[in-house]
Amino acid sequence: MKSILFSKSSTFTKKTMDLNAKMLRDDALSGKVIVVTGGGSGLGKAMTHYFLELGAIVAITSRDIDKLKATALELETATGGTCLPLACDVRHYNQVEEMLQHVLKTFGKVDVLVNNAAGNFISPTERLSANAFDTIIDIVLKGSKNCTLALGKHWIDTKQESSVILNIVTTYAWTGSAYVVPSATAKAGVLAMTRSLAVEWAKYGIRSNAIAPGPFPTKGAWDRLLPGDLKEKFDLAKKVPLKRVGNHQELANLAAYLVSDFSGYVNGEVITIDGGEWLQGAGQFNLLEAVPTELWDMLEMMIKSKGTK
């Protein structure tokens, strides 16, 4: 074996990773038909954009058909792919069935479902009406159930193999979180459904996984959640050990991998992509991050002095 010697003058240049870099090869999703709920904006739009670049055909859904049409045109122009906008309120099973039939009639099949449609309120729970609470449960949990059940039944009935369900959840699906109780409740249900169906439906060739994103600011959603100057007061990057928020392409890279054949042995997993945010909040002594160096020096001297007695 040859040894490699480096002189003292040798230097290594540290390259900064381009967060917008694409991860998979260009044909990674070629021939796949993907349904993305909530695909008209935000993370749904970012995932759809990358799916199209990788050769997939994508149907995007939401209640706002005008926004969907504008997004579809924009993405088709940018990628040269095929993006079908379909109005669908995922809270209503009959609309989900109609959406599915439209996709099947147009493209002949569906290979992947991405349950991304969501809603949220930041509010003390006692200030929420029962209807407001139900709205979030209906969009997130009931909507994900409706789409999963409709497509799952279709895949099982037609004996289609190698189908994929990808659910977008959140880290507080397992920790819980104050002030977003309806969302936490609903996302926890989606996570349980993900893991349960990964076992039950594996025999039908259906994989079920989830992504739990940390802070990935989007214009519309974050403006609604943190209006006015609240975004400045609650700098989410400061809560992340990496001291930054996520780039949309980073999440799109992960989503593309999980819906591709490259992840064929990944089933029942929830993959966190949050820069370490939830772990920082979970550790009992993580608040010691705020202790200045000078105080650590004093504490170390105190500990050493006690040890010599």
Residues labelled as active-site residues: 172
Distance between CA atoms of residues 243 and 231, nearest Å: 16
Instruction: Kindly provide the b/e burial profile for residues 29-64, where b requires at least 16 CB atoms within 10 angstroms of the residue's own CB.
Output: beebbbbbbbbbbbbbbbbbbbbbbbbbbbbbbbbe
Please state at what angle helix 143-157 crosses helix 181-200, rounded to 10 degrees: 10
Residue 68 contacts residue 62 (beta carbons within 8 Å): yes
User: Mapped to the 3 state alphabet, what secondary structure does 30-64 carry?
Assistant: CCCEEEEECCCCHHHHHHHHHHHHCCCEEEEEECC
Dihedral angle of Cα 177, 183, 189, 195, to the nearest 10 degrees: -80
Distance between CA atoms of residues 28 and 260, nearest Å: 7
Beta-strand ranges (E) seen in 67-193 are 83-87, 112-115, 163-168
Q: What's the token pair of residue 48?
A: 């759809």
Question: Residue with structure tokens 């991860």?
Answer: 23
Distance between CA atoms of residues 203 and 42, nearest Å: 34
Q: What's the token pair of residue 173?
A: 């699906």
**Half-sphere exposure in the Cβ direction for 211 (13 Å, CA):** 25
Distance between CA atoms of residues 76 and 112, nearest Å: 19
